[in-house]
Amino acid sequence: MESENSISLNAQCYCKSLHFTLTLPTSALPLSVHLCHCSVCRYTHGTMCIFHAPLPANVAPQFVTPSGLDKLTAYTWPGGKGIRYFCSTCGCHMGDVSPDDGTWVISTSFFAKDESIFQIKTHVFTESALGGGLNDWLPQIGNRKMKTWNPDDGSAVPVQPQIEHGADGQEDRLRAQCHCGGVSFTIPRPNKEVLTNPAMKSFVSPIDKTKWVACLDMCDDCRLTTGSHLVAWTFIPLDQCEPKIKPDLLIGTSKTFRSSTDVLRSFCGQCGATVFFSYAKEAKNIADVAVGILRAPEGVKAENWLTWRTGRIAWYKSGLRYDEALAMSLSQGLADWGMVKYGQNLDFEIGS
């Protein structure tokens, strides 16, 4: 309960099955928010990083009835130090709790943006992001330079994915796989069928026909179904995945959630990773694939497979409404990276 010395916050995921409050002592504010780039966070969320804040000692989420832990899925893994929780219905990640002392690290993506309460300050575990991750695009927020932290014990060693081939043993393929491995498939490079299909060719790189396009997305729906401020997508024909994936998006341990009449989303029911987004009015059989689960040998941004749209962030106006400084700084950082990478600020339509 809020008092002179505390403030009460309310949080809900997209489907509202997850609903809780936090009561924070004003003496602890603002809480420092870090962007974690470790492989565990990327592979359990399907996003390029997560936005988390450690809660003060003796502060824990208080669920609002009928919400509770029974509405969430708990995920642990060998060697893991915490228990991660995500909504069993829409897949939104809440955060994780230490089984030893009960301390929480909470997703801040549920809460209204308020720098007096949550302040994004640090990129952590950047050494786990092979080839550089989203930190390359966000060196600062407004006039505040982002700090970087990595553990001294060398535990930030990146996962090194292996080169993959198709069923014929020769075709170049890229693995997409969540953290627990319950959802796993490979995608191909664009082929003649895609390149000659007017409805599909806009998903192919405008500067390299062996690559797909990719973009950042700051829509509110994605924020509240992932538990991260933003998500990155590439766009792949489902029937060219190995194994082939049906329009219902169900593969392995995945679950689906219909966030609107025309939108079907999927996530791993075991570890919570966002996997697919399917829009009924998009080109037939094309689905958005979460870049955070890609296992490209060259790195997190999968630059040998993807051309990034650097001139525009999808649903940028939503990002501006939610966190203007973050959206503007990310847009600028992405554009600057694009000029270095491509020699131009790439802007193109996707799915037109």
Residues 306 and 209 both lie in one domain: yes
Categorise residue 132: left if φ over 0, alpha if ψ from -120 to 50, beta otherwise: left
Average pLDDT of the residues of the chain: 96
Confidence of residue 199 (pLDDT cuts 50, 70, 90): confident
Q: What percentage of the chain carries pLDDT values higher than 90?
A: 89
Residues 245 and 311 both lie in one domain: yes
In the predicted structure, residue 348 carries a pLDDT above the cut 70:
yes
- Distance (Å, whole) CA 315 – CA 294: 22
In the predicted structure, residue 84 carries a pLDDT above the cut 90:
yes
Residues 128 and 99 both lie in one domain: yes
Indicate whether 352 belongs to any domain: no
Contact status, residue 287 vs residue 304, Cβ threshold 8 Å: no
Going by the DSSP 8-state scheme, the letter that residue 169 receives in this structure is S
CB neighbour class for 340 (10 Å; exposed up to 12, middle 13-18, buried from 19): exposed
Instruction: Say how many domains are in the chain.
Output: 2
Indicate whether 159 belongs to any domain: no
Confidence of residue 3 (pLDDT cuts 50, 70, 90): low
**Cross-strand pairs, 123:** 35, 148
Confidence of residue 55 (pLDDT cuts 50, 70, 90): very high
CATH number at residue 29: 3.90.1590.10
State which H helix or E strand residue 331 sits in.
Answer: helix 324-342
Q: What are the tens digits of pLDDT across the range 201-256?
A: 999 999 999 999 999 999 999 999 999 999 999 999 999 999 999 999 999 999 99
Domain stops at, among 149, 183, 203: 149
The dihedral sign for the CA sequence 212, 295, 249, 215:
negative
Residues 170 and 139 both lie in one domain: no
Q: DSSP secondary structure string, 196-240?
A: T-TTTGGGB-SS-TTSEEEEEE--HHHHHHHSSS-EEEEEEEGGG
Strand 93-97, strand 104-107: pairing: antiparallel
Residues 213 and 333 both lie in one domain: yes
Domain stops at, among 149, 175, 199: 149
For residue 66, give its domain range. 6-149
Indicate whether 289 belongs to any domain: yes
**What pLDDT is attached to residue 167?**
82
Residues 87 and 25 both lie in one domain: yes
Domain stops at, among 123, 149, 175: 149
Q: What are the tens digits of pLDDT across the range 146-170?
A: 999 999 998 888 889 999 988 888 8
Indicate whether 155 belongs to any domain: no
- More reliable by pLDDT, 1 or 246: 246
Indicate whether 177 belongs to any domain: yes
Indicate whether 350 belongs to any domain: no
**What pLDDT is attached to residue 280?**
81
